[in-house]
Structure formats: C-alpha cells, structure tokens
Amino acid sequence: MILPDFILPSRVDARWNETGIDSIKQCLDKTHFKNYPHKVEYSYNSRGFRDAEWPDSVEELKNAIWCLGDSFTVGLGSPLAHTWTYLLQQRTGRRCINVSMDGASNEWIARKTQEIIKEINPADIFIMWSYPNRREKKDKSLDDESRRLRADHVASIVDCLNFKLCIDSVAQFNIKHMLIPNALSGDDLNELIKIYNDVKDVTWPAVVTIDDFDNLPLYITTELINDFKIYDRLLELSKILRIIDYCKSVHNLLEVEQLDYARDYHHFDLVTAKWLVEQIC
C-alpha cells in the first residue's frame, strides 16, 4: 500500500450526516444550522479521508494535486461539492487528493507533506495551514487522531515559532500556502488596547496597532512596565505578529477571507471556497 500510515481509523469507510461542531448539539448557531438549505453528508474513503478512493499507481498520484489541511479542508459543515478541494478539481480538471483531518495540527500537516514529497514527489501541493497555536502530542506511538490537542489557549511565541518551523520545513518545495480564516485573531491586541486605555494618562497618545505600542515614548513604557505589568505581554505579541508577518511575506501565505458560513456557522462555505480557488489558480 502506498503511504500506508495515511489512515484515520475512526473514519474508515464511514458515512455520517453530522460530525463534531457540525451537529445540532455543538454548532455555533442552532437557527442557522436548522435553516441551512443544503444537504450535508460525510462519506469517507477506505483511508478515512473525505475523498474518493485514491489512485493505485504512483504515477497517477504524482500527477494529482495534493491538498492538505484541517477541518476547513475537510469542508466541515458543507456538502462535498462546496469544498475548495472539490472546486479546485473541477476548475483544473486534475485529480485532487484530500489529506485533511478535523483538528489537525500544523505539525501533522508538515509531517504528512514531507512524507508525500518523499514517496510521491507530486508536481503540485496546496496547504491550508491551521491556527498557529494548533499543536499535537509528542508521543509518536499514538495514531494521528489520538495525537491531536485542543487549540484553546492564546498563541504564544513558542507556538508561532513552531508554526514558522512547520512552514519552513516544506518551503523548498513547490507549494501554495494558505491560512484559514481568522487564524490571526485580533482578540489579544484588542484586549491589550482596552487595558492600555483603562490605565493611560490623558496625555498619553491613542494606540490602535502593535506598531503604536512599539513607538510609545520611553517614559510611558517605563510606567507600563513598572506600574501596570502589561508591557511584557505587549512585547510578546509584537514578536508573534512579526513572526506571522515573516511567514506571510516570505512564503506568500494567503490569508483566506471568510465570505460566508457553513452549516456549523464556523467554517466557510461555497462562496468563500470559490473565492479561494480563484486566488490560487
């Protein structure tokens, strides 16, 4: 079997109508879920991926476009025909192989990409990277699904350096890089701006961006450090944003704009998927 460890055991040959956050119990908006006008079915192949059966020959796999990612590439909350991998296949007329997993870490995506390159070396690989803070367990004896970790913490410098390392590890290959919508959340910056506004003197300048914080006069930063204990977090956030900016510029990382919502009211749907395919073709 080609790429024998590319198997998600819990999904092998599965057929579901709901899964994970795309369910009436876990969706973000029950009204949206109930009113969603399209039928959603999940059909997984013998490897456990939401895809048709893969070709048997290395040559056919080499000529295919390989698409890797997390639940946004799975197409959670959408019919298969609304997913960006399906639309890419229709647009190019080439077989697109979907290697994606709900909750996939960037480490998993990078590792699978390297295995594909080593064994198949296809001409085209498209990666939609996950949240920078999406990590996995280090225990290599676990299967891929068991190694997943919840991304329920604020991204740290270590997370973002790991994200950069994942991208750099496959950067020498011909890969189109994308980043899921809202992966670069502005919540941290907004929270810090609120804290700053709560403590600032009337003579202090307004701040809107991380650059505004970087350019604050020394007497203000000294007071923030000594009296308000928030400047260390500002410095950390500044470094995080610099790392992400590096990834976006050096690797032509396309940040996907979310133009519509799937049934679960979190993932994107057909309008965004069409926009994405237009950008990458």
CA 142 to chain centroid, in Å, comes to 22
The C-alpha atoms of residue 227 and residue 221 are separated, in whole angstroms, by: 10
The C-alpha atoms of residue 60 and residue 45 are separated, in whole angstroms, by: 17
Residue 25: what pLDDT?
Answer: 96
The C-alpha atoms of residue 61 and residue 2 are separated, in whole angstroms, by: 10
Residue 221: what pLDDT?
Answer: 84
Residue 2: what pLDDT?
Answer: 94
Domains and CATH numbers, the chain: 9-181+256-280 (3.40.50), 187-235 (no CATH)
The C-alpha atoms of residue 40 and residue 233 are separated, in whole angstroms, by: 43
Walking along the chain (281 residues) 10 residues at a time, the average pLDDT comes out as 95 98 97 98 98 96 98 98 98 98 97 97 96 93 94 82 94 91 71 83 88 85 79 75 84 93 98 97 92
For the chain, how far is it from start to end, CA to CA, in angstroms? 31
Task: Answer yes or no: pTM beyond 0.85.
Answer: yes
